[in-house]
């Protein structure tokens, strides 16, 4: 019916939006591409940019995972084509909606998966310099820095995003992840050197703890965060708290 409606009202962005949502709801994302493109053409719709970017990005991830199993270079080439399509759409969207966290997050992830981290870093660094009080720029710059294991600079960006919005859950969670990954890297370096008694890494897990606790307070139904919290409790020897966190994660997954 919505396909028929687009023929009756070919200039109605809302009609194409309804059609796209029906396709996506049915899991037919490939068919949603054309109506989403039409939404963008007609009124530069935020939903058009967001969902079309998501579709291209997820298609890229699927092909990238397929390459891991097939080892067929064409799968890798096709994956990069999808990531580049996502980047093109989302960059266009960013010009219209520079403060959209959904656009910025998928854009940064697309750059990372396309192997264009340095390009993305320059873009978001410029954004931070031009608008230092934009929490979304700070957060996405931090995500990119974390993606290249630059823990110290990622910490700075996430902290500044949290200063701007103390309940910014994504920044809070990713700051915790930064400390966990940082601690894991320190521990691995110590093990590689044969320093088996080195406990410096635990300091980073300790720094992660309040942010993970805040994260589950803000999003109590997120099982993976409870799981990560349990692991941090375990490393810190807080076994009762760890068991409670793991139980909560298991409960949420049922």
Check residue 3 and give its pLDDT.
67
Does residue 120 carry a pLDDT above 90? no
Tell me how far apart the alpha carbons of residues 187 and 185 are, in angstroms, rounded to a whole number: 5
Check residue 7 and give its pLDDT.
65
Q: What is the pLDDT of residues 188-197, one digit of tens each?
A: 999 888 887 7
Check residue 21 and give its pLDDT.
86
Q: Of 107 and 198, which is predicted with more confidence?
A: 107
Say if CB 22 and CB 2 are below 8 A apart: yes
The helix/strand/coil state of 254 is coil
Residue 140's pLDDT band (cuts 50, 70, 90): confident
Say if CB 186 and CB 204 are below 8 A apart: yes
- Which of 51-65, 122-136, 175-189, 223-237 is the least confident region? 122-136
Check residue 94 and give its pLDDT.
87
Residue 2's pLDDT band (cuts 50, 70, 90): low
Mean pLDDT of 83-91: 95
Q: What is the pLDDT of residues 234-245, one digit of tens each?
A: 999 999 999 999
What the block records as the tokens of 179 is: 């400390």
118-254 topology per CATH: 1.25.40
Tell me how far apart the alpha carbons of residues 48 and 205 are, in angstroms, rounded to a whole number: 40
Q: How many CB atoms lie within 10 A of CB 195?
A: 12
Does residue 198 carry a pLDDT above 90? no
Check residue 169 and give its pLDDT.
94
Mean pLDDT of 175-186: 96
Q: How large is the angle between the packed helices 135-147 and 101-113, nearest 10 degrees?
A: 20
Mean pLDDT of 155-176: 96
What the block records as the tokens of 200 is: 């410096």
DSSP 8-state code for residue 76: H
Check residue 195 and give its pLDDT.
82
For 1-115, the fitting CATH number among 3.30.1490.20, 3.40.1550.10, 1.25.40.10, 1.10.3720.10 is 1.25.40.10
Check residue 8 and give its pLDDT.
58
Check residue 10 and give its pLDDT.
62
Residue 112's pLDDT band (cuts 50, 70, 90): confident
Q: How many CB atoms lie within 10 A of CB 177?
A: 21
Does residue 101 carry a pLDDT above 80? no
Domain with CATH 1.25.40.10 in the chain: 1-115, 118-254
Check residue 123 and give its pLDDT.
78
Say if CB 119 and CB 104 are below 8 A apart: no
Check residue 73 and give its pLDDT.
93
Q: How large is the angle between the packed helices 223-235 and 169-192, nearest 10 degrees?
A: 40
Residue 6's pLDDT band (cuts 50, 70, 90): low
Does residue 216 carry a pLDDT above 80? yes
């Amino acid at each position: 019916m919505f396909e028929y409606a687009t023929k009756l009202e070919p200039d109605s962005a809302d009609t194409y939006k309804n059609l796209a949502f029906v396709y996506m709801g049915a899991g037919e994302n490939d068919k949603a591409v054309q109506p989403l493109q039409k939404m963008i053409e007609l009124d530069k719709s935020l939903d058009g940019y967001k969902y079309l970017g998501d579709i291209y990005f997820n298609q890229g991830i699927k092909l990238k995972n397929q390459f891991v199993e097939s080892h067929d270079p064409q799968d890798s080439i096709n994956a990069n084509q999808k990531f580049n399509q996502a980047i093109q759409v989302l960059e266009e969207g960013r010009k219209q909606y520079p403060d959209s966290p959904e656009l910025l997050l998928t854009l940064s992830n697309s750059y990372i998966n396309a192997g264009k981290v340095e390009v993305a870093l320059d873009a978001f660094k410029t954004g931070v310099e031009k608008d230092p009080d934009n929490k979304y720029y700070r957060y996405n710059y931090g995500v990119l820095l974390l993606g290249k294991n630059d823990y110290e600079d990622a910490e700075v960006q996430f902290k500044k995003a949290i200063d701007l919005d103390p309940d910014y859950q994504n920044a809070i969670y990713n700051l915790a992840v930064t400390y966990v990954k940082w601690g894991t890297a320190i521990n691995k370096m110590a093990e590689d050197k044969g320093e088996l008694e080195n406990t410096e890494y635990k300091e980073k897990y300790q720094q992660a703890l309040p942010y993970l606790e805040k994260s589950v307070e803000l999003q109590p139904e997120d099982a993976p965060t409870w799981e990560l919290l349990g692991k941090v409790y375990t490393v810190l020897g807080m076994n009762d708290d760890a068991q409670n966190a793991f139980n909560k994660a298991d409960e949420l997954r049922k």
